[in-house]
Amino acid sequence: MHLLLHLIVIVLAFISHEHRAMAQYVPPYTSIVVPVNKHTDAAKPLYSVQIMTSYVNMQYSHANFLIDIDAPFIWHDCILQWNIYPGSCPNNTLCTSPVSCEEYQCTDVRTTYSYENPSCPPVTNSSTLPGWGDCTCPVNVADPVTGSCGEALLNYDEFTVNTSIGKNVFTGLYGAYPNAACAPPSSFESFPANVTGVMALSSSPYALPAYLFQPLKKTLALCLPSKSSMPGVLFFGSGPYFLLPNSSVDVRSYLSYTTLLKHPDSFGYFIGINAIVIKQKSIGIPGNFSTKLSTLDPYTILRTDIYNRVLQIFSRYTVGIPKVSPIAPFGLCFRISTTTHAGFKFPDIDFNLNDGKKWTISMANSMKQITKDVTCLAFVDGGSTAEPAIVIGTYQYENNFLEFDLENSIFGFSSSLLLKQTSCSNFNFTLTDGN
């Protein structure tokens, strides 16, 4: 009996020691980091992240996923196999393991975390794969470019990303194992070239943030580039974050914060805007509306009554700049050549937030050069019944540093980094060993 008690004490001591060792372990990284690319070869500007998806012939394969902060789950170009063994997957193809229709993830995704699209037909369990013969789990997906409905098969996936302490990229890797979905190659015909997936970064439990665990803090930081030739950066973790040339300045010092709001019909992110201000002239936002943050809409969308007031006041304060006929989708354009652009000053547009903070949209994010002689106010009319009344689009994010703190439900924003003599394309992607 005494021997048994002695053994129990030894085992418990060993377990306690292991737990203390795990608790004391401090990893050499504070975040994961991936490049963000801008694409202009689709129907609208879009942005992608590059993820490592499989390890073949002693090296990782990479795939580009559109960034979607509203999507309920990840989906991409891959195929399912019940039994994956070396050599069983076709060349240049990503193979993953299927989720059975009998598993709880299948029912959960279909009933609670699916794409809401009225054009999608009901899914069934009729699909099977060679091998075991078990039923797979078809789920609906929505093309973010065309809005059309498609079908994918839920899977067990594996993604790999680099780690960082916010200054550069480590050779050390981090693995994530989400339930994603496989769609056929034809599903991505409307996507930009070499983009074959949608990366869900929403609040859904099937989006990527839900699969990123300790020691990473549940904070997503996004910095969209303004040029296709130079990548921006996405972090997930506690920070700090650094951009050249001020490599000793944590970008978080530039941020103001406001509350992230929830919307009952969306997994996306919302903030409260109570007024739009141009040159001290305030446009009140009537009602208790929340503003949606979008990574798929290229320009900020305003409900018609708000949009008309913005155009009216903006026109009043740009009376000295020659106007030209509007170029769709914009409603207010000016004759201003690229060579004389610096000689004109357009007013800032401030989003006044519910908690007293102010997000300033400077000229770099409010004016879009359309031709060498014409620039337009980069806001669009969403119609008289638009809901939400305001959707902030990606042109307004470019070279702004955005932080989604999902643990504390707060949103950080920098306004234009160009005013700080840096940009989203100034992260140092040089690979180091982290020592």
* pLDDT value for 289: 78
- Torsion 280-282-288-293 (CA) sign: negative
CA distance linking residue 47 with residue 309, whole number of Å = 30
Question: Average pLDDT in the 76-84 region?
Answer: 84
pLDDT of residue 25: 65
From CA 181, how far away is CA 197, in angstroms rounded? Answer: 10
**Domains 31-213 and 246-426 in one fold:** yes
Domain ranges in the chain? 31-213, 246-426
Give the angle subtended at the CA of 129 by the CAs of 128 and 135, to the nearest 5°. 35
CA dihedral 235, 236, 242, 243 (to 10 degrees): 10
pLDDT in tens, 144-190: 999 999 999 999 999 999 999 999 999 999 999 999 999 999 999 99
More confident residue, 193 or 286: 193
What is the spatial distance between Cα 231 and Cα 36, in angstroms, rounded to a whole number?
Answer: 5
Query: pLDDT over 90 for what percent of the chain?
Result: 73
- pLDDT score recorded for residue 119: 77
Q: How far apart are CA 6 and CA 12, in angstroms?
A: 10
133 pLDDT band, cuts 50/70/90, is low
Residues 6+ positions from 57 with CB-CB distance below 8 Å: none
Mean pLDDT of 220-248: 96
Q: Vertex 120, ends 381 and 391: CA angle to 5°?
A: 25
Return d(Cα 291, Cα 386) in angstroms, integer: 11
What pLDDT score was predicted for residue 92?
A: 74
Q: pLDDT tens digits for 319-352?
A: 989 999 999 999 999 998 655 545 678 999 999 9
Mean of pLDDT over the chain: 89
- The residue among 324, 393, 304 whose CA lies nearest residue 44 is 393
pLDDT in tens, 372-401: 999 999 999 999 999 999 999 999 999 999
β-bridge mates for residue 59, sequence order:
56
Structure tokens at 11: 């085992």
Give the per-residue pLDDT at 333.
97
Q: In the prediction, which pLDDT does 258 show?
A: 97
pLDDT in tens, 359-377: 999 999 999 999 999 999 9
**CA dihedral sign, ordered 257, 379, 364, 346:** negative
What is the structure's pLDDT at 225? 98
| Tokens at 425, concatenated | 């394309």
Q: How crowded is residue 393: how many other Cβ atoms within 10 Å of its Cβ?
A: 21
Is the confidence at residue 14, as pLDDT, over 50? no
Instruction: Give the Cα separation of 155 and 141 in Å (integer).
Output: 14
Q: Please name which of 169, 233, 196 lies closest in space to residue 37, comparing C-alpha atoms.
A: 233
Superfamily of domain 246-426: Acid Proteases (2.40.70.10)
The torsion region of residue 377 among left (phi > 0), alpha (psi -120 to 50) and beta comes to beta
Residue 11 confidence (pLDDT): 43
Q: Is the pLDDT of residue 267 over 90?
A: yes
Query: Is 403:220 a contact under the CB 8 Å cutoff?
Result: yes
pTM of the model as a whole: 0.90
Q: Using CA atoms, how far apart are residues 351 and 123, in angstroms rounded to an integer?
A: 42
The correct answer on CATH 2.40.70.10 for the domain covering 31-213 is: yes
Q: How far apart are CA 8 and CA 127, in angstroms?
A: 51
pLDDT (average), residues 260-288: 92
